[in-house]
Chains A and B, each alone.
Chain A
Amino acid sequence: MNDTSTKSPMVNISVEMRAKIGSVLDHYGILILIAIMMLALHILQPDVFFTWRNLTNVFKQTAWQATLALGMFIVIVTAGIDLSVGSILMLSLMALAITSKAGFPWIVVMVVPIIVGVICGYLNGVGITKLRMPHPFIMTLGTLYLFRGVGNLVSGGVPISGFAEEVNFLGTGRIKLDWLLGEGAREYIPVSLIFVIFLYLVVWFYLEHTQHGRWIFGIGGNPNAARAVGINVDNMLILVYTICGGLAGVAALILAGRTNSGYPNAGLQSELDAIAAVIIGGASFFGGRGTVIGVFSGVFLMGLLRNGLNLMDVSVFWQQIMIGAIIIIAVYVDVLRREISTRR
């Protein structure tokens, strides 16, 4: 590593200092990025940006993407990829819309997308392991087309709108704050925010504090090590893709609430957003590395960026350019971080 560090601009910094900077960036890098961004947006849009209404809007808009990214994160930890999450979301959403239209009780309507998501994820997992696909990319590329095709087929490719209030609760529900802020206060907390935080906490616990979680990280670090200690790697991978699919189903439920409709374009390219959020959040594309809080930050950062650019009336084209740049910058910061904290 000596030759890379001599090239790096950080060469004059002492070893301890490097370790310190490395560890700060490691833990708070993305949070610093978010803070800078919020400050910049506040300066640029002083009246609008830092309002309760605007910030809760960001959360409401990104809740379903945060759920999608969470599943993608678990998959990426195993050094895998799931390109089909956007299509699973769409198929789940259509299944929800169809059951709703058919007049099933709301509880059924809410459970159906999750079941569909779980089944799709399970199929991905079985395909990757039992059909011995050379890479998850290939299996999920196939199902990216397959699931969306099925979604269009069963729904006729047209939007289906109008769901029960209970179904929409997760996506649009509000927890009023007048008990806290006084009578007539208009501030509220979106139910979707609370729900997403809950999901993230559950997954954090699962990954950090259960055997499965450690095995998932172990598989990402070295699948042969996992196999050698007797972990059933295939079964764990099937489980991971099933969880990812299930979370895409949950994302469909949240999105259904927000839009009050199932539409054929739902989730188009959202797999790429999910991957971007995970990578911006500091997870390694090669598996075994990353944190739940990082993923949440990654989603929030992309949401903030889109929100800020919208507020400033920047065109969608520029948004694409900015997001692309952020991905590259975030990963470059990560590369620098590794270089700084490496002492060898």
Chain B
Amino acid sequence: MTTPILQVKGICKYFGAITALENVDLQVSAGEVLGVIGDNGAGKSTLMKTISGLNPASKGEIMFQGKPVKFNTPRDARDLGIEMVYQDLALAGNLPIAQNIYLGREPTKRFGLINRIDHKRCLEMSQEHLDNLKIHVKSAKQKVEELSGGQRQAVAIARATAFDANLVIMDEPTAALAVKEVSKVLDLIKRLKSLNVAVIIISHRMDDIFAVCDRVMALFHGRNFAEDSIKETSHDELIGWIMGTTQNKNGISQ
């Protein structure tokens, strides 16, 4: 395998006296889909937030394309093409779909001495991107608070893929979706993979994991518990990992 696009080593995260992550390692390569599983509260979201820069790690190192980097804010990570779909979606309900997709990175044009937002282009690009993802909404001008849960999920995914990402992290992207919408998300993940984008997906649905992942890793109580290629594992084994009972045959866990 080539050098991983992202490699994190020895990540620790403390919230006051609570230890959410202890010495966690993770790596993912371009064009690879990594599944992350674990019980509620295992630390999956916390780990991803350290990678996206939203909640920087207390300890540990992050290497991007082999070079050490430091993500203090989501901007640092996004600048390197690391995008994330948050579990709570992190959308601004009062803004239209288009402005949510481009929030923080609005297309601008010169207007005298200042840059003004190119609202027209923002709208066109959003519409085109949504069409591309086969996401159907009445109009990209619609406010996000007027959308259904599934549509909101779709907008969050659209935001994470609107720029040429190197790595897309999805925290339970299918949790709120109906069957048809789930398969759209899974298709999208396959498409990202074919474009050589790395994907990390957190899911409690084993079907999703087996449908798209190349590799799967489990967290248990904030530590690496087990990890394997998807071909080498089984549904029952993964359940065991989540419960913290089945040890990994490769013996990664402590």
Q: With A225-B90, A229-B74 as known contacts, state yes or no: A217 contacts B117, CB within 8 Å.
A: no
How far, in angstroms, from A218 to B76 measured CA to CA in the complex?
Answer: 20
Please tell me if the beta carbons of A221 and B104 are within 8 angstroms of each other in the complex. no
> Number of B interface residues, CB 8 Å?
31
In the complex, which residues of chain B have a beta carbon less than 8 angstroms from the beta carbon of A220? 94
Instruction: Verify if A138 is at the interface (C-beta below 8 Å from B).
Output: no
Closest CB in chain B relative to A157 CB, distance in Å: 43
Query: Which of chain B's residues 95-114 have a Cβ closer than 8 Å to chain A?
Result: 95, 99-100, 103-106, 108, 111, 114
Quick one: closest B residue to A218, CB to CB? B92
Q: Is the CB of B104 within 8 A of A210?
A: no
Q: In the assembled complex, how far is the CB of residue A221 from the closest CB belonging to chain B, in whole angstroms? A: 3
Given contacts A214-B103, A222-B91, A289-B94, contact A230 B78 (CB under 8 A): yes
- Cα A224 to Cα B55 in complex, Å, equals 11
B95 touches A211 (CB 8 A): no
B115 in the interface (beta carbon within 8 A): yes
Residues of the A chain whose Cβ atoms lie less than 8 Å from the Cβ of B92: 217-218, 221-222, 225-226, 288
Which of B52, B88, B104, B116 has most A Cβ within 10 Å?
B104
Whether A230 contacts B90 in the complex (CB less than 8 A), given A210-B114, A210-B115, A214-B95, comes out as no
A207 to B117, CA, bound (A): 11
Residues of chain B lying within 8 A (CB to CB) of residue A259: none
A229 to B78, CA, bound (A): 8
Please tell me if the beta carbons of A231 and B95 are within 8 angstroms of each other in the complex: no
- Chain B 209-224 per-residue mask, 1 if CB under 8 angstroms from chain A, else 0: 0000000000000000
Q: Does B73 make an interface contact (CB < 8 A)?
A: yes
Does A232 contact B117, Cβ atoms closer than 8 Å?
A: no
> How far, in Å, is B157 (CB) from chain A's closest CB?
14
Smallest CB-CB separation from B148: which chain A residue?
A: A344
Q: Is the CB of A227 within 8 A of B74?
A: yes
User: Which residues of chain B come closer than 8 Å to A228, judged between CB atoms?
Assistant: 52, 54, 74, 84, 86, 90
CA distance A215 to B75 in the complex (A): 14
A7 surroundings in chain B (CB, below 8 A): none
B74/A221 in contact, CB under 8 A: no
**B99 A214 Cβ-Cβ under 8 A:** yes
B93 touches A (CB below 8 Å): yes
What is the CA–CA distance of A218 and B94 in the complex, to the nearest angstrom? 8
